[in-house]
Amino acid sequence: MLALHCLVTVAGEVALWAEDSTLPARRPGKAAKGVVEHPFAVSGRTLSSLVAGLSDEVSMLLPSYPSGPRASPELVLDPLAKRVTPRGEVRLHPWRVPVAKVSPAVFARHGVPRLGDVRTGSSVRFMATVVAFAEDLVGRGRVLPTIAHEEDGLVARWRPALSGTDSARYARLRDAVPPVLRAAQVDGLVGRRAEDVLRPVLDAFVDSVARSRLAGVRLGPSGTSASAGRALLVALTGDPLLDVPAEQSARLADSLQVWRSAVEFDGPVRACFRLRAPEDDSPTLNWTLELLLRAVDDPSVMVPAEHVWKGDGGTILRRWVTRPDELLLAELGRAARLFPDLDSSLREHAPTGLSLDTEGAYRFLTSAAALDQAGFGVLLPSGWRASSGVGLRLTTTSRGTAGTVTRNSVLGKNELVDYRWDLALGEETLTEQELNDLAAAKVPLVRVRGRWVQVDQRGLAEGLAFLERSRTGQMSVGEVLDLASMPPEEEGLPVPVVGVSGSGWLADLLSGAVEAHLEPVETPEGFTAELRPYQRRGVAWLAFLDRVGLGACLADDMGLGKTVQLLALEAMVREKGKRPPTLLVCPMSLVGNWQRETERFAPGLRVHIHHGADRLAGIDLADAVGEADLVLTTYAIATRDAPLLATLPWDRIVLDEAQNIKNSASRQSQAMRSLPARHRVALTGTPVENRLAELWSVMDFTNPGLLGPLSRFRARFAVPVERHGDEEAAARLRRITAPFVLRRVKTDPAIVDDLPDKLEMRQLCTLTPEQASLYRAVVDDMLAKVEEADGVQRKGLVLATMTKLKQVCNHPAHFLGDGSPVAGRSGKLARLEETLEQVLAEGERALCFTQFTEFGALLVPYLAARFDTEVLYLHGGTSRAQRDAMVRRFQSGSGPAIFLLSLKAGGTGLTLTEANHVIHLDRWWNPAVEDQATDRAFRIGQRKDVQVRKFVCIGTLEERIDTMIESKRALSKLVVGTGESWLTELSTKELRELVTLSSEAVGA
């Protein structure tokens, strides 16, 4: 297990280094006094194989015991290894560490290395945050050119222009610089200041990001003589060396410094401008712009300019500045560059403010954002809100059913509805008189319903012209939904649509309230599961969208039965008549689960599995698909075979674990969207994991074009919501997606009463080809020997074989014990990752039980790196003090969310009610033992419903014994006993039937 870190060298380079948990934690011999080699740092050769960079060594100051450096929190040590607890006082000590150096520009371009089982430290994650800050600054244009002297000569660079909220963000980053990032030793035992590390790196990141975005910019012909300005542009977009005479470069540098001083501001006191609107009963429309000085670190301290000139306000401000009057004049001069109307006040002896007409007030309002970004305070009239512009509001009237949507309602995207267009200003729909008054206004700033708003006069004129042409008429439901989603200006409408409303079932669809008005469906004939009330509502919702041909995203929490609801839908619609088949795409680890669940709950559905090296193609596949109701395949196969699958007729395409297409630019996501079908359904418990763009990708699969192109979605929703916390944009997105996303969580009042306190389920997993090969080898070896063995020898052989087979089902590295890589080799591990990913995304906690201590030790470092979080592990070698500390941390609710336990050590005597997920990674032959382990979470004090998952590999010994246990659970003690000894009594024929691997066990 490796932990990757970085630091910034004295020369400003980013240096990557790593710790190795397999190396000794201390140097042999006496405590080191000088700078010696770090004992468990990755060697330069190993580091070079992991990350690109210039190999070197640096001296670092690290917290250390007398015997060696202290391990970082991210380094996961072998939980089974016996270690000597370090003693002595922790002090900073220098160590020589191999590093791979890269320039900040290279780091900004390539980002954090992604290295399998390697866990990234806080310093690497912090640098990724700094890169993101630089990208945000460049994206918003908060950068300015500058000229500086470097080793190669005079150069032009892009530098961040920090002011206002950006200055506050920078200050928070500076305060959060991890100590290890500035651990490069300087002058003996002196480290580096956070400012000395952060500012040069941020400057370099900004310059790199800006240049990458300007790459390929063509400046056009230079003419007969190259100017200094053109030389600056060339240096800012290409080679940074500035080729201009010294006199011109000095003038250019002065001009750039004046430009920067007008934008940046870091002083303790700044000018503030307060705009006051005319009183409602005022005979004139004069606005007042007041001048004030305001303390930056105490915004409540505001002194009007009048008091500054009189001197009675100076005593308040002198704790920050000695001459407030001179500062006010300097600030006015700086602000006049952004709002030229202030020039007149500079000609006054003691300016206190400006009187503005409506046009002047409008000019100030349009300059307010620039003044705020430059560091000035801006206070606008109470209730002022820049209008979202003139927009169209559509009101529709459905000719269909006005109330509940019944199962027999005949709806469709082509049904016609009556419509009426109105103009709106922001959220306000305007009357005819208000429209006439606005059209007659001479300036964009007008008073509407007692509030001053900004009006786009051109948009108003175009909107009025549109109303004259087509105020009323008819359109299809499909057109209404397109307009309700995100109507672009370029689709033939002169101004944006700001609202769509309807009546009857269409109103329910537009408001997202369809589920509340649907009639719950009855359980389909031949469907063996008993649907819970919320599941019947879910099936009715899916059936409604199926009838109107609109895609659906069923986003219920884990454990609420998305599989059962989809199968019920399939059984229900197919009992009404023959349809083309449904293509269901899922992760490889779930193919067997879908096959078994279909056989169990909807045995009447004909299933064809399309995966494996020998899968059908051409006419054979077309024939098999034609005879099937449900075709199961994996994301990998569907991506590879997309051109072939696209030629087949599909009634419906279903994506299970639809977060697999969250990256819309990936080949897999594009392939899924290219498959044609009448209806599309996405099943996922986590429609949004990290970014809103993931929701766009899922929604663009279910209803192509619903949210418009990704670029517009980012501009309208992702950036406002993610970067600025825009609640209005978030609410608008919820309104748009609500009709097509059904999200129920286990804590919903309408759900919680339908759920049992403990929900138990089998999670069926497929073996990888490597696992299947090992499994067959173990079985063949046993069957060859068992015929010749008898008595104790035969019993021992059978028991040893059972253990080996369970190890193979867990992971090849568990069986082989060779320390080989973990990732991508086990179907059971893949399913565990998918489950834990959803658990962590929902902010919940899980207990994972295994009967094999070595398997738990193998999982701890892998899961820690995979999810970048600490993983607790309790096993037989854990001391009582360590066990109690783990339980306290887990039960505190703020400790690690994943707790691995060996079945014997953690299966009894513990209370772990903070977990509401229990996962049995490998099956114990006695279900009572598993039940005891489950009761660590399912006991008094548990406030949530507990979900219990038992992992079973399809077609293996695990599945056959699981079937026996479940079918005779009431008599399990009589049938199975307390262990595995009953297996030794089986005949050779019975053993062969029990352990032989079936053809369906292997995933694609």
According to the model, what pLDDT value does residue 265 have? 62
By the 8 A CB rule, do 874 and 946 touch? no
By the 8 A CB rule, do 197 and 182 touch? yes
pLDDT above 60 (res 98): yes
Query: What pLDDT band is residue 264 in, cutting at 50, 70 and 90?
Result: low
According to the model, what pLDDT value does residue 291 have? 94
Sheet strands side by side (includes 917-920): 758-765, 946-953, 917-920, 846-850, 898-902, 871-874
DSSP β-bridge partners for residue 847: 899, 918
By the 8 A CB rule, do 554 and 656 touch? no
| 3-class secondary structure per residue, 559-617 | CCCHHHHHHHHHHHHHCCCCCCCEEEEECHHHHHHHHHHHHHHCCCCCEEECCCCCCCC
Query: What pLDDT band is residue 676 in, cutting at 50, 70 and 90?
Result: very high
According to the model, what pLDDT value does residue 409 have? 42
| Least confident residue range of 189-193, 247-251, 473-477 | 189-193
According to the model, what pLDDT value does residue 777 have? 94
pLDDT above 80 (res 199): yes
Query: What pLDDT band is residue 894 in, cutting at 50, 70 and 90?
Result: confident
pLDDT above 80 (res 268): no
535, two tokens:
């599941």
Q: Is 783 left (phi over 0), alpha (psi -120 to 50) or beta?
A: alpha
pLDDT above 60 (res 971): no
Residue whose entry in the numeric block shows the structure tokens 């201390």: 26
By the 8 A CB rule, do 687 and 743 touch? yes
70, two tokens:
């202290």
Question: Any residues with CB less than 8 A from the CB of 477 and at least 6 apart, and which?
Answer: 411, 412, 413, 414, 415, 416, 417, 506, 548
| 3-class secondary structure per residue, 345-366 | HHCCCCCCEEEECHHHHHHHHH
680, two tokens:
């599309």
| SS3 state at 684 | coil
Query: What pLDDT band is residue 283 in, cutting at 50, 70 and 90?
Result: low
Percent of the chain past pLDDT 70, that is, above it, reads 88
| SS3 state at 190 | strand
The Cα-based distances of 4 to 128, 317, 346, 521, 990 in angstroms read 13, 49, 57, 54, 51
| Most confidently modeled range among 112-121, 470-479, 511-520, 607-616 | 607-616
pLDDT above 90 (res 624): yes
| Least confident residue range of 358-362, 631-635, 697-701 | 358-362
According to the model, what pLDDT value does residue 372 have? 81
Per-position DSSP letters for 310-343, written without gaps between them:
HSTTHHHHTTT-S-HHHHHHHHHHHHHTT-GGGH
Are domains 522-752 and 759-1001 of this chain identical in fold?
yes
Q: Find the radius of gyration of the CA atoms of the chain.
A: 34
pLDDT above 70 (res 281): no
DSSP at 868:
T
d(CA 736, CA 712): 14
According to the model, what pLDDT value does residue 295 have? 82
Helix, strand, coil % in the chain, rounded to nearest 5: 45, 20, 35
DSSP β-bridge partners for residue 8: 14
Containing 45, the helix (H) or strand (E) segment is helix 44-50
Percent of the chain past pLDDT 90, that is, above it, reads 29
Q: What is the pTM of this model?
A: 0.66
pLDDT above 80 (res 764): yes
pLDDT above 50 (res 401): no
Section 82-96 average pLDDT: 82
| Least confident residue range of 462-476, 616-630, 712-726 | 712-726
Question: Any residues with CB less than 8 A from the CB of 172 and at least 6 apart, and which?
Answer: none
Domain boundaries, the chain: 2-74+84-211, 269-379, 390-511, 522-752, 759-1001
Section 151-175 average pLDDT: 85
**pLDDT digit string, tens, across residues 915-944:** 999 999 998 777 777 888 888 887 767 778
Section 402-431 average pLDDT: 68
pLDDT above 80 (res 294): yes
Give which of 909, 873, 871, 914 is closest to 891, Cα–Cα: 914
| SS3 state at 234 | helix
Compute the mean pLDDT over every residue in the chain, rounded to the nearest whole number.
83
CB atoms within 10 A of CB 491: 10
d(CA 785, CA 798): 10
According to the model, what pLDDT value does residue 849 have? 94
Give which of 872, 867, 847 is closest to 942, Cα–Cα: 847
Positive or negative torsion for Cα 48, 53, 57, 59? negative
Question: Any residues with CB less than 8 A from the CB of 616 and at least 6 apart, and which?
Answer: 610, 624
More confident residue, 785 or 921: 921
According to the model, what pLDDT value does residue 386 have? 63
According to the model, what pLDDT value does residue 408 have? 41
d(CA 402, CA 420): 18
The values of phi and psi at residue 61, to 5°, are: -95, 115
Q: Which amino acid is at 122?
A: S
Query: What pLDDT band is residue 193 in, cutting at 50, 70 and 90?
Result: confident
By the 8 A CB rule, do 589 and 874 touch? no
| SS3 state at 725 | coil
By the 8 A CB rule, do 810 and 822 touch? no
By the 8 A CB rule, do 558 and 842 touch? yes
Largest CA distance in the chain: 113
Question: Any residues with CB less than 8 A from the CB of 809 and at least 6 apart, and which?
Answer: 767, 771, 775, 828, 922, 953, 956, 957, 958
User: The domain 759-1001 belongs to what CATH superfamily?
Assistant: P-loop containing nucleotide triphosphate hydrolases (3.40.50.300)
Buried b (16+ CB within 10 A) or exposed e, 144-178: bbbbeeeeeebbbbbbbbbbbebbeebeebeeebb
Does the domain formed by 522-752 have CATH 3.40.50.10810? yes
Containing 758, the helix (H) or strand (E) segment is strand 758-765
According to the model, what pLDDT value does residue 973 have? 40
By the 8 A CB rule, do 418 and 472 touch? yes
d(CA 391, CA 489): 10
Q: Measured at the alpha carbon of residue 96, what is the angle toward residues 93 and 102, in degrees to the nearest 5?
A: 120
Q: Which value, to the nearest 10 degrees, does the dihedral of the CA atoms of residues 744, 747, 752, 755 take?
A: 80
Half-sphere exposure of 693 (CA within 13 A, CB side): 13
Q: Measured at the alpha carbon of residue 908, what is the angle toward residues 814 and 762, in degrees to the nearest 5?
A: 55
d(CA 625, CA 39): 61
Give which of 497, 412, 553, 486 is closest to 706, Cα–Cα: 486
Question: Any residues with CB less than 8 A from the CB of 212 and at least 6 apart, and which?
Answer: 108, 109
pLDDT above 60 (res 222): no
The values of phi and psi at residue 36, to 5°, are: -125, 175
d(CA 392, CA 927): 64
Burial of 703 from C-beta contacts in 10 A (0-12 / 13-18 / 19+): buried
pLDDT above 80 (res 559): no
Containing 860, the helix (H) or strand (E) segment is helix 853-867
Strands 14-20 and 2-8: antiparallel
Q: How many residues does the chain have?
A: 1004
Section 345-374 average pLDDT: 88
**pLDDT digit string, tens, across residues 797-831:** 888 998 999 999 999 999 999 888 898 899 999 99
pLDDT above 90 (res 511): no
Query: What pLDDT band is residue 975 in, cutting at 50, 70 and 90?
Result: very low
Strands 2-8 and 377-379: unpaired
d(CA 867, CA 689): 13
